[in-house]
Amino acid sequence: MTQERWQQLVQWPLLGAATIFLVDYAWKVLADVQGEPGLILTFVLEAAWSVFLLDYLMNLVLAPQHWLWFRTHLFDLLVVVLPVLRSLRLLRLVTALSVFPRSPGTAVRSRVGIYVTTATVLLVFLASLAVLDAERRAPGANITSFGNALWWTFVTIATVGYGDFTPVTIEGRLIAVALMLGGIALVGVVTATLASWIVDRVAELTRDQGAGK
C-alpha cells in the first residue's frame, strides 16, 4: 500500500476520531464523570487517540524515506503527543465555507483569519477542559469550575495574566505554557495579517495615483 492510498483511506476515520475525542473529553470533564462510566469514557478517549498513533506510525512506515518524513513532519509527532492539536483537523470542515477571494492578498488573509479564529476557539475550549481536569481536586487550587477555567484561559492566551486564578499542578502549568505559546502566535498572526493588509493598501493607492496622472 502506498502512503497516498493510506492517507485517502483514513481521512474520514481521523475526522471521526477527532470529533469523538472532543465530545468524549468535554462530556467527561464537564459532567465530572467518575467511577465506572468515567472508565468507559477514558477508554473511548484512548481508543480515539490510538487511531492518531496508528496513522502516524503507518505514515512513517509507508514513507519512501523514513528519516526525511520524520524530520519534515515534526508537527505530526507533536499532534500525536498532544491530541488537542488533532482537533484542528476539524478546521477542514470550516474551510469548506470557502471565502470570496477578491484579490490574492484578501484570499490569503481571509484563509489565515478563518484558521486562526477556529484554532483559537478550539484551543480555548480544550485548554479550559484540560486545566479544569488537572486542577479540580488539587490542594490549594482555585480553578475549580468551568466558568473560572474559561476565564483563566482567556486571561492567559491574551497574555494579560491578572493572577486572580493560577494553576498549581504540573499538568495545569504545562497547559498554561501551551496557551502562552498560543497567545504569542495569535498576536503574531493578527499583526502579520494587518501588516500585509496595510502594505497592500499602500501599494494599491500608489498604483491608483500613478494611473490617475
Binding status of residue 81 toward a second copy by CB under 8 A: no
> Number of helices (H) and strands (E), helices first, in the chain?
9, 0
Asked if 131 and 175 count as a contact pair (C-beta separation under 8 A), the reply is yes
Binding status of residue 181 toward a second copy by CB under 8 A: yes
Residues in the interface with a second copy (CB under 8 A) total 51
Report how far apart, in Å, the C-alpha atoms of 40 and of each of 26, 83, 133, 184 are: 14, 18, 16, 37
For a second copy, the binding residue among 12, 64, 140, 209 (CB under 8 A) is: 209
Binding status of residue 93 toward a second copy by CB under 8 A: no
Asked if 63 and 1 count as a contact pair (C-beta separation under 8 A), the reply is no
Asked if 84 and 121 count as a contact pair (C-beta separation under 8 A), the reply is no
User: Using CB under 8 A, which of the segments 12-20, 34-42, 87-95, 173-181 binds a second copy?
Assistant: 173-181
Spatial separation of the C-alpha atoms in residues 209 and 69, rounded to whole Å: 49
Site for a second copy in 40-79 (CB under 8 A): 71-72
Binding status of residue 169 toward a second copy by CB under 8 A: no
The least distance separating a second copy from the CB of residue 192, rounded to whole angstroms, comes to 4
For a second copy, the binding residue among 104, 139, 140, 212 (CB under 8 A) is: 104
